[in-house]
Amino acid sequence: MFGLRRIWLGSALGKPGRDFLYNGLDMEDLLAIIFSKDCQLTTYQPVLVGVSGGPDSLCLMDSLDRQGYPVLVAHLNHTLRPEAEQEAEWVAHMAQERGLEFILGKEDTQLFARTSSLSIEEAARTLRYRFLFEQARLHGAQAVAVAHTANDQVETVLMHFLRGAGLAGLTGMAVRTLPSTWSEKIPLVRPLLSIWREAILAYCAERGLQPVYDSSNEDLTYFRNRLRLDLIPFLTRFNPAIKRVIWRSSEVMKGENEIIQRAVEEAWRSCILQTGEGFVAFDAQNLVRQPAGMQRRLFRRAIADLRPGLRDIGFEAIERALVFLAAIEKPSQIDLVSNLRLVYESGRLWLTEWDVDLPTDEWPQMPQGIEIPIDGAGEIELSGGWQLQVESVIVTETVLQLALVNQDPYQAWLAVVMEKDSVHLRTAHSGDRIQPMGMSGGSQKISDFMIAHKLPRRARLGWPLVCVGEAVTWVPGYRLGHGFQLSSSTLQALHLTLKRTQV
């Protein structure tokens, strides 16, 4: 065993951010705690382990196997280096020596990077996780396990800091993530995230594991390599314990971020009106009442929902969203980030993909080109759960007063006689006009009327109009036409109420 050895336990023993000098607790005991407590793994279902052949992934594979977890060994050949084929063969050999199932994948990473407009690093990461989760689903694995260490966590936090991440980015990676970009059901676990590489190298030496070393880890064209080989040694000159300081900071920020995230979830519930395939709808009034920091969190959350694979959401994009939200005179829409746009519509702020048709269910709509007769009491069903309720009434003093004080734009009393007047429901025709009640002088085109009342373009074509003959008499939700209002001489009327009966 390891005897006395100083290693970084982190969250494994519930004491984040401190060194723990242990006596009699060897690496296997430590990992047993992490596997069961932090990663929530069981010995009843396979764990798919991403094994590159390096010391970290060999340590993870070996320790899971030794503790009785059914292990599936998965290796992706990115075809970036000549020796990649030999490395795949070596990983297969080590898996077969232990009687473990080996799964091999192969991808042209450079081609994928070109066709997807990604860096080689990002393309390799995308292909790796896509492969691992595809195989986990096919083989019924309980989790995908990868071998990121405390050293990797430090590099990740630094990378996020240099790219301008907020608090969520500075927490780094999580030991267990579900849901993730890759799966809603299969967790991604990183059991070695609280263990320094020195301890892992010692583990491999003691167990006789023979790792392969990836020459690309020395290539300074990769950002992460420059952090590890140049920046971190430079920072060590100012603080020899800089890696542990950064690791501790990320653990502290994890706890604080969890508290903030609870508040974000509460604000999300109060600000979100609707979500769907390719869009998120905010209640603009509730959103604008939130502090700027919360608005940033909510925008980031919405972007992450629509673009789960987008890792770097720039500060400029989020600030552009805040400026758009706060503007008194807004453009109808702006481009935001990653083929997403913001659209403002009468109290709703939509974050949506450019090619998505936004829903119209919140408005009354009907098919174009048809007329629906209104010939007596009853209900007319429209799309989206909307219903026009029709009642023929005798005008009494009470009815007249109700009509005169009515403030509900979705309710109207029309001075028509059912036996004489042809009343029907239809959508707008070219050239339709209306003289809204209270408007002096001439009439107004229906199209101009809808624009003036800021009715969204996509709602106009299917908006139902109540007509008597060819005359538009009522635009539900807005105005009654002049000449159809009740008066003291009106004997009969049509009482119309448009409401949404189903949501």
Q: Domain extents for the chain?
A: 5-237, 265-353, 372-500
Residue 239 has pLDDT above 70, yes or no: yes
d(CA 464, CA 471): 13
- 412 to 264, 375, 408, 452, 466: CA distances (angstroms): 42, 16, 8, 21, 10
Does the model's pTM come out above 0.95? no
Q: Is the pLDDT of residue 398 over 60?
A: yes
Tell the residue number behind the tokens 């290796």, with chain if given: 75
For range 450-475, the mean pLDDT: 89
Enumerate the β-bridge partners of residue 404. Answer: none
Q: Give the range among 123-132, 171-180, 348-357, 477-486 with minimum mean pLDDT.
A: 477-486
- The mean pLDDT value for 33-46 works out to 95
Say if residue 287's pLDDT is above 50.
yes
Return d(Cα 123, Cα 138) in angstroms, integer: 22
Half-sphere exposure of 466 (CA within 13 A, CB side): 31
pLDDT given at position 441: 64
CA count, 13 A, side-chain hemisphere, 92: 11
Q: Which pLDDT tens digit goes with each residue over 421-449?
A: 789 999 999 889 998 876 666 788 999 99
> Containing H/E element for 393?
strand 386-394
Higher pLDDT, 55 or 357: 55
User: Rounded to 5 degrees, what are φ and ψ at 430?
Assistant: -60, 130
pLDDT-derived band of residue 7, with 50, 70 and 90 as boundaries?
very low
CA neighbor of 176 nearest in space, from 162, 187, 165, 163: 187
Tell me whether domains 5-237 and 265-353 share a fold: no
CATH number of this structure's domain 5-237: 3.40.50.620
Among 270, 276, 338, residue whose Cα is nearest residue 308: 338
Report pLDDT for 21.
Answer: 32
pLDDT above 70 as % of the chain? 93
Q: Are 350 and 362 in contact (CB under 8 A)?
A: no
| pLDDT tens for each residue of 84-116 | 999 999 999 999 999 999 999 999 999 999 998
Asked if 153 contacts 11 with a C-beta cutoff of 8 angstroms, the reply is no
Band (330; pLDDT cuts 50, 70, 90): confident
Superfamily the domain 372-500 falls into: Phenylalanyl-trna Synthetase, Chain B, domain 3 (3.50.40.10)
% of residues, the chain, pLDDT over 90: 60
Distances (CA, A) of 307 to 126, 299, 337, 351, 379: 14, 12, 10, 11, 43
Q: Is the pLDDT of residue 344 over 60?
A: yes
CATH 3.30.465.60 fits 265-353, yes or no: yes
pLDDT tens, 369-386? 899 998 877 899 998 889
